[in-house]
Amino acid sequence: MLKNLLGGKPGKTPKKRGPKPGQKHAGQFKKGHDPRRNMSGRPKLGLTLSDMVRDALEEAIDGDYKKRDALIDIAIERAQNGEYQYLSWLFDRGYGKTPEIIELHQDDGDEVDFSKWDADDLKKYEQLLKKYHADRG
């Protein structure tokens, strides 16, 4: 019955694993050079999508003017025409995104009043709690 629970067939003893008697370990490869071992590692699969996009954006259109420069010029033009998502994109890429800071204050041991929080604040708080618990792990 116990053998059945461990995955063995009834009436058969399971095969022993591990080193044979007198061996230090059951290693398959010999020390030193072994032709079966791949010392150079797995071969590269080729370019990733991000590599291909970077290469395409680095292609020159006219002299030193590249496709990347043309896309930046288009984004600047659209930002000047009032499409503010392009302005936000340009500042985020040029100067880095500003960190979002959430401050929680508890005075005199009172509990946090979640009734004044909107859905976005509650979602961010929940994400912070999940990250905090995952880090403490």
Question: Per-residue confidence at 3, pLDDT binned at 50, 70, 90?
Answer: very low
pLDDT of residue 77: 95
pLDDT of residue 7: 56
Question: Given a cut of 80, is residue 98 above it in pLDDT?
Answer: yes
Return the closest-CA partner of residue 122 out of 99, 137, 104, 135: 104
Taking CA atoms, 40 is separated from 46, 71, 74, in Å, by 16, 40, 45
The larger pLDDT score, comparing residue 20 to residue 56, is at: 56
On the CB side of 63, CA atoms within 13 Å amount to 1
